[in-house]
Amino acid sequence: MLETASGLYANLGPDIMRRLDALALFSEDGDGVTRRFATREHRQAAEMIQSWMRDAGMTAHMDAVGNVIGRYEATTINAPALLIGSHQDTVREGGKYDGAMGIVTPITCIGILNNAGERFPFAIEVIAFCDEEGVRFNSTLLGSRAIAGSFDKAVLTTTDSDGKPMAEALRKFGVDPDGIASLARPAAGILGFVELHIEQGPVLEEENLALGVVTAIAGGTRMSAKITGFAGHAGTVPMARRNDALTAAAEAILAIERYCSSAPGLVGTVGRISAAPGAVNVIPGEAVFTIDIRAGDDAVRRQAVAAVRAEIETICARRGVRLAVDVFHESDGCQCAPWLMDQLEAAVIAIGQPPKRLMSGAGHDGMAMARVTDVGMLFVRCKGGISHHPAESITAGDAALSAQTLLQFIRKFEPKNEI
């Protein structure tokens, strides 16, 4: 039977939206939602999430790093679990839906399954990851890394803007960081990880689609480029005799834009630039800018990084300026598992929506979870593709469609290997 939003699930969209609104109230002051890791707001949100989980027939607890985990038991005890989740934290002055959508929706779906008395040969665990954005301590994917067994203990000594080390913040928050090492989950007990998330881009809206299945989460390379020329008098040095660092940077930036427009799924951005000495009447002697290059395919990204660097070197040599490039961040992409993509897509089609596959240019917890299990993602259309902003917006209708897809996916879920 195909249940439509006007039938059995008439309240599904409004119910999800109401919970998202409720969660958004746990925010620091300012526009939109600001909920950082191991803060009072994180604690308040975690308590609300746990109460929803218990209402939906799950057991719920907070672990040693601050993740909230709810478990909906299988028909047998100790069965392996399908993990579904997203992050509870936000950027500064972010929106109500980034992360929260992927926590509220599965809990609401499990409430429906519980009310109908539906259990499966596999357990379902919903995880509200503690810190994906990394706003407070500048280190991302803390919660999913802990579960995937790749949590780096060294980050416990990093400090927030008040100088407080993470370990101390966690103790004050009420969890024991000494317990983080034991959170790593053995792969044998996990059947896969699925995340529902707003798209944070304009593709679905432009194609008039509510839902999309993610094929890969883009890897990224971030570099800092420093061009050193020769400062001089803006009035006395003839144009032909200049070694202007900023005009070299300008040519380099356009070259990056041109190269990164040349392959599908490849994007390149220069997001920050500064020039010195920075006076109106002085030829810039130095220009420093960042380069962010991403692609779903790691080989395409590496080739782009090499090509862009070579092209900037050529530009600098021709202009008589020096170039120094520092790679300060590099993460490989994460390919979503074809068997999970197929089952998510079958669920989208089953609820009467057209299938669509797309890449994620933004990072997600799946990048960490891929270390321990297969990963799948479902994207939901967001208004104007706007995210990390108070104007972030989705419709109740799309929320209902995403929940119906998730319900369908769970009910038809076939683990890759027999349980």
* Placement of tokens 């665990």 in the chain: 125
Kindly state the smallest distance separating residue 392's Cβ from Zn ion, in Å: 10
**Can you tell me the distance from the alpha carbon of 71 to that of 82, in angstroms, rounded to the nearest whole number?**
10
**Can you tell me the distance from the alpha carbon of 181 to that of 63, in angstroms, rounded to the nearest whole number?**
11
Decide whether 129 or 413 has the Cβ nearer to Zn ion. 129
Decide whether 99 or 285 has the Cβ nearer to Zn ion. 99
Contact between 305 and 263 under an 8 Å Cβ cutoff? The reply is no
Characterise 98 by phi-psi region: left (phi > 0), alpha (psi -120 to 50), beta (else): beta
Q: Find all residues with CB under 8 Å of 158, minimum gap 6, and list them.
A: 137, 138, 139, 165, 166
Kindly state the smallest distance separating residue 98's Cβ from Zn ion, in Å: 4
Q: Which residues sit opposite 223 in a β-bridge?
A: 291, 327
Contact between 244 and 229 under an 8 Å Cβ cutoff? The reply is yes
Decide whether 86 or 108 has the Cβ nearer to Zn ion. 86
Decide whether 95 or 285 has the Cβ nearer to Zn ion. 95
Kindly state the smallest distance separating residue 132's Cβ from Zn ion, in Å: 6
Kindly state the smallest distance separating residue 94's Cβ from Zn ion, in Å: 9
Look at strands 334-335 and 211-217 and give their pairing: antiparallel
Decide whether 99 or 229 has the Cβ nearer to Zn ion. 99
Q: What is the DSSP string of 63-86?
A: -TTS-EEEEE--SSTT--EEEEEE
**Can you tell me the distance from the alpha carbon of 387 to that of 98, in angstroms, rounded to the nearest whole number?**
7
Decide whether 119 or 389 has the Cβ nearer to Zn ion. 389
Question: What is the contact surface with Zn ion in residues (CB under 5 A)?
Answer: 98-99
Q: Which residues sit opposite 334 in a β-bridge?
A: 217
**Can you tell me the distance from the alpha carbon of 50 to that of 54, in angstroms, rounded to the nearest whole number?**
6
Kindly state the smallest distance separating residue 110's Cβ from Zn ion, in Å: 21
Kindly state the smallest distance separating residue 267's Cβ from Zn ion, in Å: 18
Contact between 74 and 185 under an 8 Å Cβ cutoff? The reply is no
Decide whether 98 or 298 has the Cβ nearer to Zn ion. 98
Q: Is the dihedral of CA 187, 98, 116, 50 positive or negative?
A: positive
Contact between 278 and 355 under an 8 Å Cβ cutoff? The reply is no
Kindly state the smallest distance separating residue 377's Cβ from Zn ion, in Å: 11
Kindly state the smallest distance separating residue 294's Cβ from Zn ion, in Å: 15
Decide whether 83 or 249 has the Cβ nearer to Zn ion. 83
